Amino acid sequence: MKTSTGGRNLTLPYWHNLTRDEVLGYWQSDPEQGLSPVVVKRRLKQFGYNHLREGKRVSAYAIFLSQFQDFMVVVLLVAVLLSGLLGQWDDAFTILAIVVINAFLGFIQEYRAERSLEALKQLGAPQARCRRMGEVRGLPASELVPGDIIELEPGDRVPADGRLLFVNNLECDEAPLTGESLPTGKISEPLTGRDLQPGDQRNMVFAGTSVTRGKGLAIVVATGMNTQIGRIAGMLERVKDEATPLQQRLAHLGQWLVAVCLFLCLLVVLLGIWRGEPVINMIMAGISLAVAAIPEGLPAIVTVALALGVQRMIRRRAVVRKLPAVETLGCATVVCSDKTGTLTKNEMTVQEIYVNAGRIMVTGKGYDLGGEFRKGNKRVGPDDEHLRQALTIAALCNNSRLDRRKPNKGLSNPLSPGGILGDPTEGALLVAAAKAGIWPEELQRKYPRVYEIPFEAERKRMTTVHGCPGGGGYLVCTKGAPDVVLELATKIYERGVVQTLTSERKKELQGIIADMAGRALRVLAVAGRLLPEFSGNEGEDVLERELVLVGLFGMIDPPRAEVPAAIERCHRAGIRVVMVT
C-alpha cells in the first residue's frame, strides 16, 4: 500500500493485518501518552495537514475573464473591432455592451456559486479528541498526524483513518463511504487477507464516517489525501473538464456562421470588383455585411436562459457552479443514483409492531414524530397495554438519544434534522416510543438503569436491568435478533396475561418473523422479566433465563417521499434511472 508524503511515495503496511503493538511500534506512539510536540511538528511537515487538497482557488478576476472564452463571444469581439475600424461606432458600442452584459450575468451566477460552496466547506470543519503528552485535548481535526491517538464516542465524526486499539461495543455508520445503511460493528483484533475492501476492514475507522454506538481508541494511520475518502477525492481531481453539449453546439454554430459569412462577403466583394466597383469600397462593404450577419444577441439570450435555469435550481436547493451545466442536465439519458441517503432517508423507521397476536402499523417516516398506530382501520391509542409494554422495553434497552436541540415548527416534541445521537436502529425504536408519548428521559428517571450486558455481534442481543419504582424489584429488558430472543423466551405476554410459549406458538411466530423479513423489514424482538432482587453479580445465564416475549418490531429505511414522483418524471422524459449500491 502506497501513500504520498511531501511529493514522495512511501510504502506502508496493510494496517488491518497488523497487531496493535505492531502499529504502535511502527509510528513510535504510546496509547496513553500520545505524541510529543516535536514529533507532531515533524510529521506535519512530512505528511501535511489533515484536510482534502483543494484545487487552485479561482479568483473573481479569472471567473470574469472566463466569460470571454466562448467562441461566439470572440466572434463578437472581432465584430466590435471591425465596426470601430469602419467608423460604425454605434454598432461597435451596441455589440460591446451586449458582450459585457452577457459576461456580467455569467460572472454573477458563477461567483455566487463559488462563495456558497466555500461557506458550505466552513460548516464541515470537525474537531477531534486526541491524546498528546498524556492529556486529552480537543483540537481541529486538520492538525492530526499519523501516530496520534484519538478517542471516539457516539455522535463523533471520525477525523482520520485509524487502526482501532481498543473497542467497547463500537459501531460506525459508514454509509458515506460504503453505502451500507446499517452500522458496522468494530473489533480491535488483526484481520487476515490483504485486499479487503474498506467495508470489510472491521478493525479500522475511516475519515468522514460517524460513531453510532460504544467507544473506541484508535491510532491515526492516514490523513488528508491519503485517507480512503481522500483517494476518492484524488480520483475526482483527475477527471478532465469537457465542453458541455450546448458549448459544443454553439461553437459548431459559430464556426459555420463565420465560414458562411466569410464566403458570402468574399463573393459579394468579388462580384462588385468584377462589375467595376472600386476595390476599397467593396472591401468595406464586405466587412460591414459580415458584421451585420453575426447574431450578436445569441450569447446574451443563451446566458439569460441558463441564468433562469440556475435560479430555478437554487429554489430547489441545488448549487450550480457553471451556467452551461444546467443545459447538460437536460441532455442526460441515464441517471445513476446511490440508494442510502439519496433514494432513501437513511433514517430507520418502525413500520410494524407485532403484539398481542396482532399487527399494528405505525405511520410516519424517518425521525419525524408525527404518526400514529393503526390496527386495520382502527386507531390504537398509546394507552394500549401490550403496545406500551413493548415500546417501554424498546426505549429502556437502548443507548441512543433523541436530539431535540433544534426543534422543527409544527410539532410539540419534534426532532432536529438528523435528530438521533447513536445507532439508527435504536433511534427508530425511540421515535416509535415517542409517537406514543413515551420519552426515554422520563423512563430512565422512573426505571434507573443499574446494569447492562452490551450488544455483541456474537450474542446478537442486548440486556439491561432497571430498578422498579417504589423498590418493587428489578425489570430485565432484552432486545435482539428475533430467532435468538425467541429461543431464550419461555413465556409470552398476550391477552393481558403471561402465558407459556409453546412449541406450536413458536413456529407461528417464526412464520410471522419470516413474513416480515420477506417484506424487507429488519426485525427485532423485545422481551423482559421481573426479578425480586439483584446483586449485580448475576450473569447472562441468570438474567436472560425464562424471558417473557412481549413483541416484534419491523423496521425499514424508507424511500424519500419525493422519489417515486421523481423517478416517474424521469421515465416520462425518457431517462433511465439506475440504482447503484
In this structure, the answer to whether residues 151 and 165 fall within a common structural domain is yes
Q: What is the CATH number of the domain that holds 201?
A: 2.70.150.10
Please classify residue 313 by burial: count the beta carbons closer than 10 Å to its beta carbon, then call 0-12 exposed, 13-18 middle and 19+ buried.
middle
Same domain (yes/no): 38, 83: no
Looking at residue 129, its amino acid is R
Both 289 and 378 in one domain: the answer is no
Domain that holds residue 98: 60-120+241-331
Measured distance CA(257)–CA(18) in Å, rounded: 67
The secondary structure of residue 181, as a DSSP letter, is S
Closest CA to 579 of 344, 397, 406, 381: 344
With a CB cutoff of 8 Å and minimum separation 6, the contacts of 97 are none
| Interior angle at CA 18, CA 13 and CA 23, nearest 5 | 75
Q: How many domains does the chain have?
A: 3
Cell triple for residue 244?
458541455
Query: Catalytic: which of 30, 338, 403, 515?
Result: 338
Question: Do 182 and 270 have their domain in common?
Answer: no
Q: Can you give 416-457 as a three-state secondary structure string?
A: CCCCEECCHHHHHHHHHHHHCCCCHHHHHHHCCEEEEEEEEC
| Residue 566 maps to a domain | no
Q: How far apart are CA 432 and CA 520, in angstroms?
A: 18
- 338 noted as active-site residue: yes
Residues recorded for the chain: 581
Q: Domain check: are 74 and 183 in the same one?
A: no
Same-domain check for residues 289 and 410:
no
Question: Any idea what the Cα angle at residue 243 is, between residues 238 and 244, rounded to 5°?
Answer: 115
Please give the DSSP secondary-structure letter assigned to residue 240: P
CATH number of the domain bearing residue 70: 1.20.1110.10
Cell of 525: 424482538
Are 231 and 185 within 8 A, CB to CB? no
Q: Is residue 156 included in any domain, yes or no? A: yes
323 domain-assigned: yes
pLDDT at 257: 75
Is 499 domain-assigned?
A: yes
The verdict on residue 247 lying in a domain is yes
Is 569 a domain residue? no
What does the alpha-carbon distance between residue 29 and residue 23 come to, in Å, rounded to a whole number? 9
One domain, residues 360 and 505: yes
Does residue 524 share a domain with residue 405?
yes
Reading the chain (581 residues) residue by residue, the pLDDT tens digits are 555 555 445 567 889 999 999 999 999 999 988 999 999 999 999 998 888 776 566 677 777 777 777 766 777 777 777 777 767 777 678 777 877 877 777 777 676 666 655 654 554 447 888 999 888 888 888 899 999 999 998 878 899 999 999 988 788 888 878 777 678 889 999 998 888 888 889 999 999 888 888 889 999 999 988 888 888 777 665 556 666 676 677 777 777 877 777 787 788 878 888 887 777 777 667 666 666 666 666 666 776 677 677 677 767 766 666 666 777 777 788 988 877 778 888 788 999 999 998 999 999 877 888 889 999 889 998 889 999 999 999 999 998 888 765 444 333 344 444 467 778 888 899 999 999 999 988 898 999 999 988 887 778 899 999 999 887 899 999 999 999 999 999 999 999 899 999 999 999 999 999 999 999 899 999 999 999 999 888 888 889 989 999 999 999 988 888 888 989 988 998 899 998 76
Q: What is the CATH number of the domain that holds 466?
A: 3.40.1110.10
Helix (H) or strand (E) holding 289: helix 279-293
Considering the domain architecture, whether residues 362 and 500 belong to the same structural domain is answered as yes
Shared domain for 369 and 426, answered yes or no, is: yes
- pLDDT for 115 equals 66
Task: State whether 93 and 184 are in the same domain.
Answer: no
End-to-end CA distance of the chain: 26
d(CA 326, CA 55): 22
For residue 418, the model assigns a pLDDT of 47
Is 364 a member of any domain?
yes
Query: What one-letter code names the amino acid at 10?
Result: L
Q: Are residues 270 and 184 in the same domain?
A: no
Amino acid letter at 269?
Answer: V
Looking at the domain assignment, is residue 580 inside a domain? no
